[in-house]
């Protein structure tokens, strides 16, 4: 089933996505931000969070009334280093962009900024917002709770916590930045969808069923049958750590925004946390960035196990992919292009890729 992919220009793809969103009433700026986040995910090879989601999740979400195209995003907070954002059920992309800008602006003043976000929706790839801090010589943090619990607690056979990802970005000098973006579960939900589409089984250790036995047929994992395992996977290999991180993300997003975490099953809104630490508030920016370069070079030079070509720290591989795709286009599956084309027809906007 290996279909030929077609290389598409990133800038044209962004413009198409923005046109489709604008046609639904999304303000020009918010549409441009959302398009930029989605296409940046594709540029960096994070395809599960790329343009493939535009039509099924966001365009359909706006049409169905789950997402508010013209939110009244409220930023408040009288403390110098913090703020709270009410997302008014707007696109999580535009809401989180706004929150991260606010965190950066607070960090410029005081050294640190943390902004909680409630009443939002899915924000896509967290790394994008964490990376917004880089050009200001800051370390960026983004956390989000998942809309639905899909992960089991150690000892339970019932989903209680989301895959709750966290992202951290830190700048280097000549080397690409450190960019970690990870679900706190063994794998993100998208990996099961991908396996189902490809007709493949999944490894033991990703999920268990109601009896606690491993699920290898990805279609067997449903919200009523077991769930995804926390990072670590088994008691012996530290699953309490992945679970603890998942609960910590719920605390720092939902609870800190005054919303019930997933285990209470009464909140549909999604909450986030955006943070920034200004490096110059701790040490000289040059010292920091040069140490980052040296660190990354030392990892490059480590002895490798047989068959291993490169040792990557988080963000390095993605930077390689981005370089190629910015030059040569993003390889999209024909059916993804077809879906975008059909949506353009339906929405009455120009299709030009």
- The answer to whether 151 and 135 have CB atoms below 8 angstroms apart is no
**Smaller CB distance to a second copy: residue 25 or 203?**
203
- The answer to whether 350 and 19 have CB atoms below 8 angstroms apart is yes
How many Cα atoms occupy the beta-carbon half-sphere of 226 within 13 Å?
20
- The answer to whether 143 and 273 have CB atoms below 8 angstroms apart is yes
And the tokens for 119? 């009443």
Among candidate residues 137, 22, 25, the one with its CA nearest the CA of residue 71: 25
How far apart (Å, rounded) are the C-alpha atoms in residues 231 and 188?
Answer: 10
Among 42, 47, 86, 250, binds a second copy (CB under 8 A): 250
By the 10 Å C-beta count (0-12 exposed, 13-18 middle, 19+ buried), 24 is classed as middle
Footprint of a second copy on residues 318-337 (CB under 8 A)?
A: none
Phi-psi region of 285 (alpha: psi -120 to 50; beta: other; left: phi over 0): alpha
Q: Does 104 bind a second copy (CB under 8 A)?
A: no
In angstroms, what is the minimal distance from the CB of 190 to a second copy? 14
Among 303, 327, 348, 350, binds a second copy (CB under 8 A): 303
79-to-114, 115, 138 alpha-carbon distances in Å = 10, 11, 20
Q: Does 170 bind a second copy (CB under 8 A)?
A: yes
Q: Does 241 bind a second copy (CB under 8 A)?
A: yes
In angstroms, what is the minimal distance from the CB of 163 to a second copy? 11
Footprint of a second copy on residues 112-151 (CB under 8 A)?
A: 112-114, 116, 139
Kindly state the number of chain residues that form the binding site for a second copy, as judged by CB under 8 A.
87
Q: Does 247 bind a second copy (CB under 8 A)?
A: yes
Q: Does 77 bind a second copy (CB under 8 A)?
A: yes
Per-residue b or e along 220-250, where b marks 16 or more CB atoms closer than 10 Å to that residue's CB: ebeeebbbbbbbbbeeeeebeebbbbbbebb
**Smaller CB distance to a second copy: residue 61 or 140?**
140
Footprint of a second copy on residues 31-70 (CB under 8 A)?
A: none
Q: Does 298 bind a second copy (CB under 8 A)?
A: yes
Q: Does 160 bind a second copy (CB under 8 A)?
A: yes
Stretch that binds a second copy, among 5-13, 44-52, 174-182, 192-200 (CB under 8 A): 174-182
Footprint of a second copy on residues 199-218 (CB under 8 A)?
A: 203, 205-206, 211-212
How far apart (Å, rounded) are the C-alpha atoms in residues 313 and 9?
Answer: 28
Footprint of a second copy on residues 265-284 (CB under 8 A)?
A: 277-279, 281-284
């Amino acid at each position: 089933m290996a279909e030929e992919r077609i290389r598409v220009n990133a800038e044209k793809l962004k413009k198409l996505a923005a046109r489709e969103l604008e046609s639904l009433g999304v303000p020009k700026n918010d549409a441009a931000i959302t398009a930029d986040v989605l296409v940046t995910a594709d540029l960096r090879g994070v395809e599960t969070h790329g343009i493939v989601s535009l039509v099924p999740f966001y365009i359909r979400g706006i049409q169905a009334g789950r997402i508010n195209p013209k939110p009244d995003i409220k930023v408040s907070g009288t403390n110098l280093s913090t703020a709270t954002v009410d997302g008014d059920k707007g696109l999580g992309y535009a809401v989180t962009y706004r929150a991260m800008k606010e965190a950066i602006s607070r960090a410029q003043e005081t050294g640190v900024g943390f902004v909680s976000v409630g009443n939002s929706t899915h924000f896509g790839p967290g790394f994008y917002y964490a990376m917004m801090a880089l050009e200001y010589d800051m370390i960026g943090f983004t956390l989000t709770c998942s809309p639905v619990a899909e992960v089991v607690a150690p000892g339970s056979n019932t989903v209680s916590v989301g895959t709750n990802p966290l992202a951290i970005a830190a700048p280097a000098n000549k080397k690409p930045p450190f960019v970690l973006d990870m679900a706190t579960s063994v794998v993100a939900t998208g990996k099961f969808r991908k396996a189902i589409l490809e007709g493949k089984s999944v490894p033991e250790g990703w999920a268990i069923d109601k009896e606690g036995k491993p699920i290898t047929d990805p279609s067997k994992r449903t919200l009523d049958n077991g769930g995804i395992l926390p990072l670590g996977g088994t008691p012996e290999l530290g699953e309490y750590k992945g679970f603890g991180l998942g609960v910590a993300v719920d605390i720092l997003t939902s609870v800190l925004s005054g919303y019930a975490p997933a285990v209470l099953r009464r909140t549909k809104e999604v909450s986030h946390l955006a943070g920034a630490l200004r490096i110059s508030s701790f040490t000289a920016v040059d010292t920091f960035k040069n140490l980052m370069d040296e660190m990354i070079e030392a990892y490059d030079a480590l002895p490798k196990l047989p068959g291993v070509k490169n040792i990557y720290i988080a963000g390095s591989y993605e930077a390689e992919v981005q370089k190629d795709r910015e030059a040569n286009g993003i390889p999209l599956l024909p059916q993804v292009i077809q879906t975008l084309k059909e949506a353009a027809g339906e929405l009455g906007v120009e299709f030009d890729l």
